[in-house]
Chains A and B, each alone.
Chain A
Amino acid sequence: MSSWWNEFRTSSRSFALVITVGLLTGFVLYGAVSGVNQQYVAGPALGGVYYYAEGEYHFVLYIFNTAGDPLSGGTASVGLVFVASNGTFLGAAMAIGHPAADGRLSLALPGPDVSASLWLNYSESSASFGSISTITPTAPGAMQPVGFEFGFVNVGSVAPVAALVAIITGPNGTAPVGFAVTYSYSCYQNGSGCPGSPTLNGTVTTLTKTFGVYRITLPAKVPKTDWLTLSLRAPDGTSVASQQLRPESTPSEYVGSPTPAVTFLAWGSYPFELLWPLVGIIVGFVVHGRSRVGSFVDGTLVRPTTRVEILTSRFGAAAAWAALPALTAMVTIQAAITYWFHFAYPFLPLLFEGLAIWAAILTWAGLSILTSHLGRSTTVVVAVPMILFVVFAIGWPAFVAPFLSPLGLWWPPVFYVTLANPVQLPNLMAYASAPSAAESMLGHWYFGWLAILDVGMACLAWTLLPFAGALRMWTWRD
């Protein structure tokens, strides 16, 4: 056991640390779970197939969440508005029902055999979803012999995951025995195709159930700019229906849009984000500031150890404690996504989120440690970081703006410089790990290694510079 480890181990053991970091970890845990859960319930979708027989429209609806799992707690409604070909209003019909536990709801509406506007809606206490489309069952050929509907589920441009929900019935609502779904995925940018892009073809599954709700995972992600062609094939191999889907153009776009891990946590833990600097300050004070202020560190320094060893071991202890909520967030988000969404979230965005929390706490711990070398007063050691927090939260943007605003706030470098202060580290990391969010403001070109480099340097600087400053001050020979 080296003297470094001896100091690390001892400075890590503190009831105050257990309480402080434990409390924050609890908040993070709650935030991650509730954040993912909010995303989970916030995205109900409704898919349906129908057929027309004996003067009635028969609907088989499936209400599902972002994971493709059935929802049953709310109310689904189907409305039809019949309009003659000359535009004359012919009437309307509406039916309401509650989906069964399997998310399925069968409704029948009487109506004439004319073109109709279809209105579908599903609502529950926390969210609702609706869509309007036109159906035309009049011509026998237009009559859908089978029901065939897809909804994208968690198709992320971040993740190599393309999951779909297929809702299928056989002819006139019979069991789709022997039917199969095939797909082809091609790159068709600007309608001219993309030479060199992979073209995937294959059969996803053979469907044999009476009412099919199938989660289909494709072997490649579907970029937003590309098309996915899905076909339902009868037992004899003929294509009886097909759909071309493009992630960003589907009604299920909300469900299928990439959801960065930071979004999950932001949903649930945003009210607690101000706690991170506070916890960092407390961690820094407990592991080093307190003993520095009270001169207890001298009793350690007289032992066979060095200032560098003491400070690095204590900074290491702060880093270890800061890692607890960070790891908790990563593990919890992954576990919650796996539980509710049924897929493994990619590691990189999760890692970014964990690093954001870790860097946010450690930065303030470092500033707290640095402050303890500016003055030997508890008031100074606690108050100065608090003042710094206010300065960075309010003063930094005001300081940066006059220099950079002529260049435009949303010019990417300006944007990132504005964020590159210790209060904004979580947000900075969020933009780096959420390409869709960054793209919407900065344009596609900026997200990438440049942003990652930018974020990485900011985090490294803010975590290491205060520590380096403290070390320099402590080893300064007057």
Chain B
Amino acid sequence: MIEFDSVTKQYALTPVPALDGVNFRVASGETVALVGPNGAGKTTAIRIAVGVLLPSGGTVRIDGHDILRQKKPASAGVGWVSDSTVFDPRIRARALLRYLSGFYPASKRLSRDGAQQKLDEVGLGTWADRRIGTYSYGMRKRLALAAADVGEPATYVLDEPFEGLDPAGQAFLRDWLDERGDRQCSILLSTHRLPEVQRIANRVVVLNLGKVVRILDRGEFADAKITTVRVSGPGLDRGASDLLGTLGEVSADGSDLLVTGPSIDPAEIAQLLISHGYRLTLLRPEPKTLEEAYNKTLGPAP
């Protein structure tokens, strides 16, 4: 479980805080996606969550342990997949995993064979004794997954895990995440890939300019529950727009009106307009994607 409690990060020499009072939590067995435009503070939030960056205020708790004041027990329960490689390219993968396991209790330390098994699991078995510097970007990502698994944590924090992966790698990562989801692990991941989020996330935290601007439950973005209904007909004036505004957000697309909102029922639109004397020539539900919800939350791109 991860809890962000009023987390603030103010970098020196920058007027705007990278994070400004961020609050959200990732429950046990839950997968939460952190989305937002570049510079929103996603990576900062994730680095604070795993303890490699110190917050200016507030704290993060991992399974109830304060990452600042109880660093060791907090870190013992979390695995981190960084957006960039954080491994010395001169080290060999097997040696790296064994070194990293040395920070955990004896029962979790990896033997030579244990490290080999971890690497086998991510498809790097035959590369176990090669220097990391010889790995491709995708291989390093896989190694990062293996390294995150060292210590067998119950919480995973991933920063842009899908970036740089080929289709096979992406499929592997989906399976990897599903497996941990099945084990009731808590997963916090940041990504720009909204279709992936729509597929795997239970909730979405939308960050912009260091603030949480919206937290979407799965019901608000998955499948077609967020919908837009296109309405066409002669004489759809301001009055019609006001009427539809009681059901959802209304926008104009040419002479058509688009009504957007969760659980919008086209029949309800028809009944409302006809009862007020309007005629309809088209009433077509259009599935609303998370991407559209995301864009609507954040407004048009600058």
Do A and B make up one complex?
Answer: yes
Q: Which residues of A are at the interface with B, using a C-beta cutoff of 8 A? A: 1, 3, 6-7, 9-10, 290-291, 294-296, 298-306, 475-478
0/1 string, B68-86, CB within 8 A of A gives 1:
0001110110101010101
Residues of B within 8 A of A296 (CB): 86-88
Contact A3 B87 (CB under 8 A): no
Contact among B54, B84, B87 for A476, CB-based, below 8 A = B54
A478 to B57, CA, bound (A): 9
Query: Among A301, A304, A305, A475, which residue has the most Cβ atoms of chain B within 10 A?
Result: A304
**Interface segment out of the listed B22-30, B96-104, B224-232, B239-247:** B96-104
A302 to B100, CA, bound (A): 10
A476 to B56, CA, bound (A): 9
Query: Among B10, B76, B82, B99, which residue has the most Cβ atoms of chain A within 10 A?
Result: B99
A294 to B87, CA, bound (A): 9
A296 to B76, CA, bound (A): 19
A290 to B103, CA, bound (A): 21
Output the nearest chain B residue to A1 by Cβ-Cβ distance: B102
Q: Measured between C-beta atoms, what is the minimum distance from A272 to chain B in Å?
A: 28
Q: Which residues of B are at the interface with A, using a C-beta cutoff of 8 A? A: 9-12, 47, 50-52, 54-56, 71-73, 75-76, 78, 80, 82, 84, 86-88, 99-100, 102-104, 106, 147, 151
Residues of A within 8 A of B78 (CB): 302
Residues of A within 8 A of B72 (CB): 3, 304-306
Contact A304 B73 (CB under 8 A): yes
Q: A294-B88, A296-B87, A478-B11 are in contact. Are A304 and B102 (CB under 8 A)?
A: no
Q: Measured between C-beta atoms, what is the minimum distance from B77 to chain A in Å?
A: 9
What would 4 more interface pairs be, CB under 8 Å, given A298-B82, A303-B75?
Answer: A296-B88, A299-B100, A304-B75, A304-B76
**How many contacting A-B pairs (Cβ < 8 A)?**
69
Contact B55 A3 (CB under 8 A): no
Output the nearest chain B residue to A308 by Cβ-Cβ distance: B71
A469 to B103, CA, bound (A): 25
Contact among A290, A295, A303, A478 for B100, CB-based, below 8 A = A303
Contact B88 A302 (CB under 8 A): no
Residues of A within 8 A of B106 (CB): 1
Q: Measured between C-beta atoms, what is the minimum distance from A469 to chain B in Å?
A: 17
Contact B103 A305 (CB under 8 A): yes
Q: Measured between C-beta atoms, what is the minimum distance from A311 to chain B in Å?
A: 13
A213 to B144, CA, bound (A): 76
Residues of B within 8 A of A306 (CB): 71-72
Output the nearest chain B residue to A475 by Cβ-Cβ distance: B54
Q: Measured between C-beta atoms, what is the minimum distance from A299 to chain B in Å?
A: 4
Q: Measured between C-beta atoms, what is the minimum distance from A9 to chain B in Å?
A: 8
A10 to B96, CA, bound (A): 10
Q: Measured between C-beta atoms, what is the minimum distance from B54 to chain A in Å?
A: 5
A476 to B53, CA, bound (A): 10
Output the nearest chain A residue to B84 by Cβ-Cβ distance: A295
Residues of B within 8 A of A475 (CB): 54
Residues of A within 8 A of B51 (CB): 301-302
Q: Could you list 15 A-B pairs, sorted by A, with CB under 8 Å? A: A6-B99, A6-B102, A294-B88, A296-B86, A296-B87, A299-B82, A299-B87, A299-B147, A300-B103, A302-B80, A303-B103, A303-B104, A304-B103, A305-B72, A478-B56
Residues of A within 8 A of B12 (CB): 478
Output the nearest chain A residue to B72 by Cβ-Cβ distance: A304
Output the nearest chain B residue to A305 by Cβ-Cβ distance: B103
Output the nearest chain A residue to B148 by Cβ-Cβ distance: A302
Output the nearest chain A residue to B55 by Cβ-Cβ distance: A477
Q: A298-B52, A477-B56, A478-B12 are in contact. Are A305 and B82 (CB under 8 A)?
A: no
Query: Among B76, B84, B100, which residue has the most Cβ atoms of chain A within 10 A?
Result: B100
Residues of A within 8 A of B11 (CB): 478
Query: Among B9, B52, B82, B103, which residue has the most Cβ atoms of chain A within 10 A?
Result: B103
Residues of A within 8 A of B9 (CB): 478
A478 to B151, CA, bound (A): 30
A477 to B103, CA, bound (A): 25
Residues of B within 8 A of A3 (CB): 72, 102-103
Output the nearest chain A residue to B147 by Cβ-Cβ distance: A299
Contact B88 A10 (CB under 8 A): no
Output the nearest chain A residue to B14 by Cβ-Cβ distance: A478
Residues of A within 8 A of B102 (CB): 1, 3, 6, 9-10
Query: Among B47, B51, B56, B82, which residue has the most Cβ atoms of chain A within 10 A?
Result: B51
Residues of B within 8 A of A302 (CB): 50-52, 75, 78, 80
Contact B54 A295 (CB under 8 A): no
Contact among A6, A7, A9, A478 for B54, CB-based, below 8 A = A478
Residues of B within 8 A of A299 (CB): 82, 86-87, 100, 147
Contact among A6, A295, A477 for B86, CB-based, below 8 A = A295
